Structure 1
Amino acid sequence: MSVKRMVTKLALAFAAKKGMEVFRGAGGMSGIRDMLAGNASPETQRGGMLGRIGGTRTSDSGGLGNILSSLGRAGSAGGSEAGMTGQISPINQSLGNLFGSLASAFDERKSPASVSDALNSEFDTTDIQSDAEAKTIIRAMVQMAQADGHIDDAEKSALFDIMHDASPQDQAILQEALSEPVNPKAIAADTPQHARKEVYAAALLIGNPDQPQEKAFLQSLASALELTTRDVEALHTAVGKSYLA
């Protein structure tokens, strides 16, 4: 499993955990798990989950339906991760494009292309270049998801069901991230200089700056990563999230 695919699945799973309406209608964590495993009923795929979360948008790999289809069709064998026919999955593209597709799919008021362009212009790297970067991105997402509480055993079980095709090494990274306490300073200490904005954006993608505990986490992470006010505001603007101030 590629790290980008793992990041995508985590983003979708954590969005489900946070109770977004489209996921509640799709059956929450178990619905996401069934969709990614290819077990969703034809009715769910046609008129339920895919219909509610943007499965008809095909021009630019946007819509959670297309992203989910891309992941489901890839299967456990890896290899081709293309989604719809003739369409390039965002998980084969740059980090900016991946985050842009996800951000737009969560909030369809923004086009994937516009979000991707904005993020690509801010990011200092276009891809995950090392295990260190991969781990800090995963840790930032996990800790963001835990900032307003915790991830219980049932949710952990669902996460590992979703990650069934991950390598033992990738599953170990996730298990380690789930086990450590929320500590944005520790994440920042392990983040390579050129990956600071990418790590922050990964947390922001599933975070809600309007929620006090999540806002506090983002503030601490931004400070620990030594991001400027301008850097943070640009990333929030790109993904359509409220500013921290």
Structure 2
Amino acid sequence: MASKTVVDIFIPCFVDQVFPETGMNMVKVLESVGCEVHYNPNQTCCGQPAFNAGFFDAARDVAVKFLDDFSNENSHYIVAPSASCVGMVRNSYQDIFVKSSNLVKYRAMQKKVFEFTEFLTDVLGITSIPGATLPGTFTYHDACSALRECGIKAGPRELLRNVHGLDMVEMEESETCCGFGGTFAVKFEAISSAMAEQKVDNALATGADYIISTDSSCLMHLETYIRKQQKPIRTMHIADVLASGW
């Protein structure tokens, strides 16, 4: 019997506190494609909020903990349902550890960190989840971190095109930021809200039933605007879509 691909999952703060079903659905999909999934309950944050706010010492403490939590001699893959957190670990940790004794340890871990859909398509070579079913039409939002930090664009679309009953229509400016940007939404509320309005209007113009993306933070921001303005569209994380119908 072939050995299973072992995966350590990292559950981001947004998913843990607000969208836990997305984390569970990621596990459901990973196990369905033959992965052995491990979860370290000691894990916390990747440190991105502190890093982006300029609290570099605090971010370094969290990054060291992340390194300790996910370093293992068996070289397991590390998979997260968030390109934002993956981008932080894969890219920003380079600045944190550049002059650190942990640099070699980090370099070894850096190569093992993947966003959920990226892991499916680029590592496992999977572009279809058997049984995934969701009737309706969707449009896709390219989260900034997924597109610009991780280079993720085609993979999620291919996975979604193979969901039974789901049709795709591209919206205008799919690569434009939704306006969340972490603390940006708090510091520049008016600009952030206007960007969400533009994104949702572009999605509505397609006639789609769903806005789907890789990042819960973007989707939370858009869903808040949608509910407040009572717009006829829903948001869904791609892990929830791939776990639907089976």
* Bigger CA radius of gyration: 2
As a proportion of its length, which structure holds more strand? 2
Q: Give me the TM-score of the superposition, normalised by structure 1.
A: 0.36
Q: Give me the TM-score of the superposition, normalised by structure 2.
A: 0.36
